[in-house]
Structures are given as C-alpha cells and as structure tokens.
Amino acid sequence: MSDEIFRGLEIEKLLATRGAAEDHIREIMFLKDLVSIHVTLQGAVEAQVREIMDNAHEDESGLLVSAKTIIFPVSIKHGKRLKQPFDRLYPEYQGRLASQVTLQESMAGKIIRDFMDYSFPRILVILSS
C-alpha cells in the first residue's frame, strides 16, 4: 500500500472515530485531493519556471536573462497561475520578467511590441478569452 493511500485511510479512520458523517468524510477527502492536486500543479509550474531560469545567461549587469519565451495557456486562470511564480520566485526583476496580455485588451499590440523590441519582459503569457 502506498504512503498516500495509507495516509488517506488514516484520515478517514480518524474522522470516523471523531463522529464525522460518511458524506462529510467523502467531502473532506475530495477537498483534500483537490488541495493535493493544486499543490502538485503549482510545484510543477514552479519547477518549469526554475528550469527556464536555470538555462538563462547573465547580461552585462550580472542579471540572469532567459531566452525570449511565449507561453500560450489553455485559459486565463491558467495563464495567471503560470505568470505568478516568475514574480514570486524572482522578485529582483520587480515584476518585469514576465508579462501577460489578453489579445482582446486595447494595450495588447503595445505589450507584444515591447516584448519584441526591448530586453524586458523576457516571458510573455498570451491569453485569449
């Protein structure tokens, strides 16, 4: 039996001995699984961000710069989750490392031109509604 299954059974048993109703136990176990999935996915996104930056090179000022990268997420929510770790893990860039743009917004053309013409942002998350 895997550790994860064993921990799940232990949680269920503890809830049952504390008098939790069966549907409450199922609901709690479902929520536990959702939290576990979110943590796993967030960890995977952070690992991908670190990989991008691990392959970056230093510019003249000693700042790590990644290759120009465009990310096409499957949804706006997904895109926001993809951008957040860049800001959180690399605060020294003061939010300039990655930008996100929704193609329908009025500033989309300018943000995309800035991405192509300037050193920063290095990462562009393009969202479509």
Look at residue 118 in the predicted model and tell me its pLDDT: 92
- Between helix 22-54 and helix 3-17 the angle, nearest 10°, is 150
| CA–CA gap between residue 89 and residue 71 (Å, rounded) | 18
Same domain, 51 and 62: no
- Predicted local distance difference test score (pLDDT) of residue 82: 86
Residues of the chain where predicted confidence (pLDDT) is lower than 70: 1-42, 129
Please give the Cα distance from 124 to 72 (Å, whole number): 9
Q: Is the same domain home to 61 and 91?
A: yes
Please give the model's pTM, rounded to 2 decimal places.
Answer: 0.64
CB 101 within 8 A of CB 125: yes
* Strand pairing category for 69-71 and 123-127: parallel
> 62 and 44, same structural domain?
no
Task: Report the half-sphere exposure of 54 (CA within 13 A, side-chain side).
Answer: 6
State the pLDDT at residue 94: 93
Domain assignment of residue 128, given as a range: 57-129
pLDDT of residue 96: 93
Domain count, the chain: 2
Three-class secondary structure of residue 126 per DSSP: strand
